[in-house]
Amino acid sequence: GEKVEQHESTLSVREGDSAVINCTYTDTASSYFPWYKQEAGKSLHFVIDIRSNVDRKQSQRLTVLLDKKAKRFSLHITATQPEDSAIYFCAASMNYNQGKLIFGQGTKLSIKP
């Protein structure tokens, strides 16, 4: 079955710098790739997603890049702020319209003042 690997278990960046979190997946049939943010003691909050028909998507300070050939996708956060500190999960799904999400193990992002 599909496996999603998140390469960085922890990441620490200085406030105002950029952060990049990388994920890889195994199944070429995967077509939908969302990212979720989980703050301490809270549930998952959707932040951004990308579908396999595009290779880049931007929303304000967040950009997702998708490299289908390498089966890799990444979340880029620019001008980081203290409130960006959280655990970020990447996920993959094989269905365009609904379907189970296979999650990576999470990356704990810390923003240092």
Q: List residues near other proteins by CB under 8 A.
A: 32, 34, 36, 42-46, 49, 51, 89, 91, 93, 95-106
First to last CA, the chain: 41
Q: Which is nearer to other proteins, 86 or 104 (CB)?
A: 104
Q: How far is the CB of 44 from other proteins (least distance, A)?
A: 4
Nearest approach, Cβ of residue 87 and other proteins (Å): 11
Rounded Cα–Cα distance for residues 88 and 86 (Å): 6
Q: Is 48 in contact with 34 (CB distance < 8 Å)?
A: yes
